[in-house]
Amino acid sequence: MKKGNKTVLLFDLDGTLLDSAPDLAAAINEMLISLSLKVFSQEVIRGWVGNGAKTLVERALSHSINNKSENRKFSEAEINNALAVFLTYYQQKLCVESVLYNGVKKTLLALKKQGYRLAIITNKPTIFIAPIIASYNLTDLFELQLGGDSLKERKPHPLPLLHACKVLNVSTDECIMIGDSKNDILAAKAANMQSIGLTYGYNYGEDINTHKPDWCLDTFPELIPLLDKVFS
Of 2.60.120.10, 1.10.150.240, 3.40.50.10420, 3.40.50.410, which CATH number belongs to 21-92? Answer: 1.10.150.240
Find the catalytic residue in 12, 14, 23, 184.
12
Instruction: For the chain, give the mean pLDDT.
Output: 93
Q: Which residue blocks in the chain are alpha helix, DSSP H?
A: 21-34, 42-46, 53-63, 76-92, 104-114, 126-135, 159-168, 182-190, 223-230
- Looking at residues 15-23, what average pLDDT do you find? 96
| pLDDT tens for each residue of 134-152 | 999 999 999 999 999 999 9
pLDDT at 44: 92
Per-residue pLDDT averaged across 97-122, rounded? 97
**pLDDT tens profile 38-68:** 999 999 999 888 777 898 999 999 998 755 5
What pLDDT shows up at residue 50?
Answer: 72
User: What is the reported pLDDT for 165?
Assistant: 98
Weakest-pLDDT range from 70-74, 126-130, 160-164: 70-74
**Residue spans of alpha helices (H) in 48-198:** 53-63, 76-92, 104-114, 126-135, 159-168, 182-190
Lowest-confidence region among 65-69, 74-78, 94-98, 162-166: 65-69
Catalytic residue flag (residue 12): yes
What integer pLDDT is reported at residue 206 of this predicted model? 83
Per-residue pLDDT, averaged over 94-116, amounts to 96
69 band by pLDDT with thresholds 50, 70 and 90: very low
Check residue 71 and give its pLDDT. Answer: 63
Grade residue 28 by pLDDT with cuts at 50, 70 and 90: very high
- Written as one letter, the residue type at 169 is N
The CATH class, in words, for 8-20+99-230 is: alpha beta
- Which pLDDT value is given to residue 135? 96
More confident residue, 72 or 6: 6
Instruction: State the first-to-last Cα distance of the chain, in angstroms, to the nearest integer.
Output: 10
- The percent of residues above 70 in pLDDT, for the chain, comes to 95
Residue 4: pLDDT over 90: no
Q: Do domains 8-20+99-230 and 21-92 have the same CATH topology?
A: no
> How do residues 182-207 score in pLDDT, each as one tens digit?
999 999 999 999 999 999 998 777 89
What are the domain boundaries of the chain? 8-20+99-230, 21-92
- Cβ neighbors of 188 (< 8 A, separation 6 or more) are 158, 161, 176, 177, 194, 195, 213
% helix, strand, coil for the chain, step of 5: 50, 15, 35
Contact 15, 49 (CB under 8 A): yes
CB-based contact 204:47 (threshold 8 Å) = yes
